[in-house]
Structure 1
Amino acid sequence: MANILSLRLLNYFHLHSRKTKLKQQYLANRPSTNGYKQQDAGFSLIELIVVLLLVGILAAIAAPGWAAFVNRQRINKFNDAVFAALQEAQREAKNKKLSYSVSFRKNSTTQEVAIFPTKKSDGSNLPLAEISTWKPLGTDVGVSSDKFLLGTNLNSTTENTADSTVSYSLNASAKITFDYMGTLPNASLGTSGLQIVAAVPSSANPTSPSSVKRCVIVKTLLGSMVTAKDNNCS
């Protein structure tokens, strides 16, 4: 009985397979309505040209939006690196019970940051020339700093004092100093706080900032910080 059932199943599958092959052969050789075989159907040269033109037009429309999106993602990461540097300086000041500073400068096309004890072991201020902890800003988050402008509203002569405008001519004197408690007791924050601003360069003038900005703002004498963007950055 089992042998008979197996034989019938084999016959069934054999017939089904043969029918499938015959059907495929028929479809392959069946003429189409315009007189050509189905396997000869395809796209004409004009159709291909039209498709390529449409793809090119869509790419041209989408490219600026994609570039703006990429710039926003990168500048967000770059601003995160600025925020992390300020937090690290404040944390070191609290942990080591020492005055700590964070300084920013432009080295050729690269923006750099240094976090260091404000004073030497003998109690004198650490000269800018002796700062040895400079490193490129943004490498920790995979962003190249030469893609952006970095500026501050820090007064170059009076520590922890805010000017009314942001300057993008960075030098090592642009620094924020936290005391041993992580605060800024003698700071002059003005109306906008102490700001470190990152900006996408203007397409018309690469040395000037565009409207796309991100910033970290030290808002209070206790050293609290917030981030802001675009028009909220001076």
Structure 2
Amino acid sequence: MKLYIQSGAVLIGQFLNRSSARGFTILESIVIVAILGILLAIMAPGWASFMTVSRLNAAQAEVYQVMRDAQSTARRNHLTWQASFREWNEVVQWAIHPASLSPTNAVWKNLDPNIRLDAETTLQTSNGVRRVQFDENGNVNGQLGRLTLSGKAGGRTKRCVIVSTLIGVVRQGRDKPQMQDGKYCY
């Protein structure tokens, strides 16, 4: 119990010495910040690529579902329905509507703004609108093709939705290292 015998000034001095030993020096702080900066610089491209792939996968799933919804609506209503796609103000949009309705009068919805239509897209175009029509049986009205999506930030990652047969088979594809029929997404 000699601790109580010491003077208050000595106790304060010992406390200050102990507390200053608990912190970091400026040099140590700079080294930690530099290491964190290097790690972030290494991870940033991988993270950006991961985000692009995630956005493309989500957009591909949405486009696939749009086409399937148009097909099932055509069967259910016994009318020809159309899935339409366009780029409007640099944003890819889609609409499902009866083929008798002009696409300009359809209700358009946006895909992720970081996604664009790729040059590999081969769906028929009419007045700047890419489309695929399904008749009352869910068959395609002769417009086979693909809608290919890529990221606006660049990169070679692509995702596509392909209308591959006249009986209305719609499938999803992704970029491959080898070309097939002049396309990387199949």
TM-score by length of 2: 0.78
Greater CA radius of gyration, 1 or 2?
A: 1
- Which runs of structure 2 are paired with 1:1-234 in the superposition (5 Å)? 37-41=17-21, 42-119=23-100, 126-128=101-103, 131-138=104-111, 144=112, 146-151=113-118, 152-156=121-125, 171-172=128-129, 174-184=130-140, 187=142, 189=144, 194-201=145-152, 203=154, 210-231=155-176, 232-233=184-185
Counterparts of 1:99 and 1:229, CA distance in 2: 29
Cα RMSD (Å) of the superposition?
2.7
Q: Deviations over 1:182-224 (max 9, x none)?
A: 012x5264xxxx2111101354xxxxxx311111111222212
Q: Deviations over 1:26-70 (max 9, x none)?
A: xxx7xx9xxx94333132211111111111111111111111111
Structure 2 unaligned regions, length at least 5:
5-10, 177-183
Structure 1 residues not aligned, in runs of 5+? 1-17, 23-28, 120-125, 139-143, 158-169, 204-209
> How many residues are matched?
166
Counterpart code for 1:187 = G
Confirm or deny: 8 A CA contact 1:110 1:136 kept in the other structure. no
Paired residue type of 1:221: L
Q: Tell me, yes or no, if the aligned pair for 1:82 and 1:137 is still in contact at 8 Å.
A: no
Identity %: 30
- Matches of 1:228 and 1:64, distance apart in 2: 24
In the TM superposition, residue 73 of structure 1 has moved relative to its aligned partner by: 0.9
**CA separation in 1, counterparts of 2:52 and 2:76?**
36
Consecutive aligned runs of 4 or more in structure 1 exceeding 4 Å deviation: none
- In the superposition, the TM-score normalised over structure 1's length comes to 0.63
